[in-house]
Chains A and B, each alone.
Chain A
Amino acid sequence: EDQVTQSPEALRLQEGESSSLNCSYTVSGLRGLFWYRQDPGKGPEFLFTLYSAGEEKEKERLKATLTKKESFLHITAPKPEDSATYLCAVSDYGNKLVFGAGTILRVKS
C-alpha cells in the first residue's frame, strides 16, 4: 500500500532563515510526486509535480527535489507570507493520489 510521511509536523522559522521540509514515500511504482500549499480555510494550491529521481523544480523561494525514497521542499529566505501548510502526495499508476498529513510552516518577522 502506498504511504506518505511528512516531517516535521510543524516548523517555526524566522524571516530569512532557510530550511527544508521532508516527504518520505513508499509506492509500488512512482508516476508522480506532488507538492501543494494550503492556507487556513482554503483548498490546496498546486505547486509542483516531480516525476523521476534527480528532478528539481523551482518557484520563487521554493525548490522541490526528488530521490527514489523522498522529496524535499527547500525554502530559501522565507517571508511571513510563506506561512501555510505544505502537503505532499504521490501517485502510482492507478487512479488516486495518496496524501501526507502535511507540515505546518510559520515564518515570523
Chain B
Amino acid sequence: DGGITQSPKYLFRKEGQNVTLSCEQNLNHDAMYWYRQDPGQGLRLIYYSQIVNDFQKGDIAEGYSVSREKKESFPLTVTSAQKNPTAFYLCASSLGGGYEQFFGPGTRLTVL
C-alpha cells in the first residue's frame, strides 16, 4: 500500500537535546512538507522540499533543520534552539507545489 509513515508516534525530549523525526513516503511524490500543529491552531509550515537535495524555509523554520538526500525521505531535526518544541508534527507529500497534500499519522513531541 502506498502511503506516508512517520516515526516515532510519541517522542520525549529533555531540554537541550536535539531530536530527529522520521518521514518516509512511497507515493513517488516529488514534494514533501513538515508542519507543526498546536491545540486550537491551524497547520504551520516549517520546511518544504520540491526536489532532492533542495529545501526551503516555511513560516516557522527557526530552531528546526531538514535534509532531503532521497526522494522518499525528509527527516526533521528539532534542535535545542527551538524554544517551545512541544507540539504535534505532521509530514506531508504531494506531486508538486500547489497540488493536494497527503499526510502521515504524525509525531507528538513532548519536552520534559
Contact = CB atoms under 8 A, between A and B. Distances in A.
Interface residues of A, number: 25
Interface range on chain B (Cβ under 8 Å from partner):
20 to 34
Interface string B71-85: 000000000000000
A77 interface: no
A95 B33 CA distance: 10
A94 B100 CA distance: 13
Contacts, number: 60
Interface string A80-96: 00000001010111111
A13 to B, nearest CB: 20
A44 B97 contact: no
A25 interface: no
Contacts of B108: 41
Given A96-B48, A99-B43, A100-B42, A43 B100 contact: no
Contacts of B45: 96
A15 B90 CA distance: 31
A93 B50 CA distance: 14
A41 B10 CA distance: 11
B90 A43 contact: yes
Given A44-B103, A49-B100, A95-B50, 20 more contacts: A31-B98, A32-B100, A34-B100, A34-B101, A36-B103, A41-B88, A43-B4, A43-B92, A43-B104, A43-B105, A44-B43, A92-B98, A94-B97, A95-B31, A96-B48, A96-B97, A97-B98, A97-B101, A99-B43, A101-B40
Interface of B: 4, 6, 31, 40-43, 45, 48, 50, 56, 58, 88, 90, 92, 96-106, 108
Interface of A: 4, 31-32, 34, 36, 41-46, 49, 87, 89, 91-97, 99-102
